[in-house]
Amino acid sequence: MAEDSLQEEQLRRLNYLIRRMHQTADALFFDEAGGIDITPVQMASLRAIQARPGVDQLRLAHAIKLDRNTIAGVVLRLQQKKLITRRRDPQDRRSNLLFITPAGEALLELLLPAADRAQKRMLMPLRPAERKLLLELIVRIVDHDFAKARGGERAAGERAKRSKAARAQLAADA
């Protein structure tokens, strides 16, 4: 009996439930996309590039709230699929400017309705007011500054400071 309650408790933990929700959302997206080889993150990136022609990778990462390493891989895959092009920034030769291609535009035309259908399916168990509230709450959580939890450079520095402080405290307590 104790094992059942322990398992039930684990299945109610937020990080586990969010992971399950993410898996469900992705499955519904891929089902509605009908085999189109693109991920929700790639679609978000494509939409951001479409809305901001000539955006650089760093600003793209900020726009869709991804770290630099993740966006680099996403941009590479979009370029390999010929959905975007990169051009050197004439003002800053270290930077690349991103542009959506006609193939990327056409793909978005197909994907946007599919993504809408997937979202409707995901939210189907909820009443309309609950759907709105859930989205508002998720946005509030996601928009909160959890940079430390995302594993970026700032987070690494903070973790190092905490570790050093924790070791110093342990040494002082010993």
Q: Could you tell me if residue 110 is inside a domain?
A: yes
> Domain with 54 in it: what CATH number?
1.10.10.10
Predicted pLDDT at 156: 42
Evaluated on CA atoms 121, 126, 127, 128, the torsion sign reads negative
Distance CA(28)–CA(116), nearest Å, equals 10
Q: Write down the pLDDT at residue 155.
A: 47
Q: Is the pLDDT of residue 150 over 60?
A: no
pLDDT score at 157? 46
pLDDT value of residue 19:
92
Please report whether residue 152 resides in a domain.
no
Which tops the pLDDT comparison, 8 or 31? 31
Q: What is the pTM of this model?
A: 0.74
Would 173 be classed as within a structural domain? no
Tally of domains in the chain: 1
CB atoms within 10 A of CB 44: 17
Q: Is residue 151 part of a domain?
A: no
User: Considering the domain boundaries, does residue 164 fall inside one?
Assistant: no
Residue, of 32 and 144, whose pLDDT is higher: 32
CA–CA gap between residue 20 and residue 43 (Å, rounded): 21
- pLDDT level of residue 11 (50, 70, 90 thresholds): confident
Q: Are 115 and 43 in contact (CB under 8 A)?
A: yes
Structural domain including 40 reads 2-126
Residue appearing with tokens 């609950």: 130
Domain assignment present for residue 118? The answer is: yes
- Please indicate, yes or no, if residue 165 is contained in any of the structural domains: no
**Summary mean pLDDT of the chain:** 85
Task: Give the percent of the chain with pLDDT over 90.
Answer: 57
